Structure 1
Amino acid sequence: MDKHQYRSYWRANTTLIRNLLIIWALVSLVFSILLVQPLNAVRFFGVPLGFWMAQQGSILIFVGLIFTYAFQMDKLDRKYNHKK
């Protein structure tokens, strides 16, 4: 891998990580803490949405972020022919 490809690979990698961390922060801080009271006005499967997000929803989203990262990094590795 030449220098340009190497930089492009790491730029794409850090962009992916940044975007996933933004989603993580939104879910964990905004939806699960700051907006709990307004979200509690909405019912989700018979439970207040704010409570559900804080207890179950955030965990499910975090697991989804892990799988998204693994899938996207596999695509990046193949695109840039990055050897592990």
Structure 2
Amino acid sequence: MSDQQKKATAYWKKNIRYVLVLLAIWFTVSFGAGILLKDALNSFKIGGFQLGFWFAQQGAIYVFVVLIFVYVRLMNKLDKKYGYNE
């Protein structure tokens, strides 16, 4: 295996690790806070709405948008590290 292939393989593994971690966070927020912990979170209110309802309706979407920006930042750093930036 050439150095270029090793570098590409390492880059791809790191990329997949980022994706899996960020998807796990999103799953935890959307499924955990929106469904599993809904009853416990409903004792708190945001803007007049129960927190469990808020996470199920909007909170998971906000977290997903933030995770997109985090992914972009991580990938820009990874591109620079492996020399794939333009």
TM-score scaled by length of structure 2:
0.86
Q: Aligned equivalents of 2:54 and 2:40: distance in 1?
A: 13
Q: Give the aligned CA root-mean-square deviation in angstroms.
A: 1.6
Indicate yes or no: 2:37 matched with 1:51: no
User: Does structure 1 residue 81 correspond to structure 2 residue 83?
Assistant: yes
Identical-residue share of aligned pairs (%)? 43
How far is the alpha carbon of 1:66 from its aligned partner? Answer: 0.8
What TM-score do the two structures reach when normalised by structure 1?
0.88
Aligned residues, how many?
Answer: 84
Unaligned ranges ≥5, structure 2: none
Higher-RCO chain (CA-CA 8 Å, sequence separation at least 6): 1
Maintained 8 Å contact 2:76/2:85: no
| Stretches (4+) displaced over 2 A | 43-47
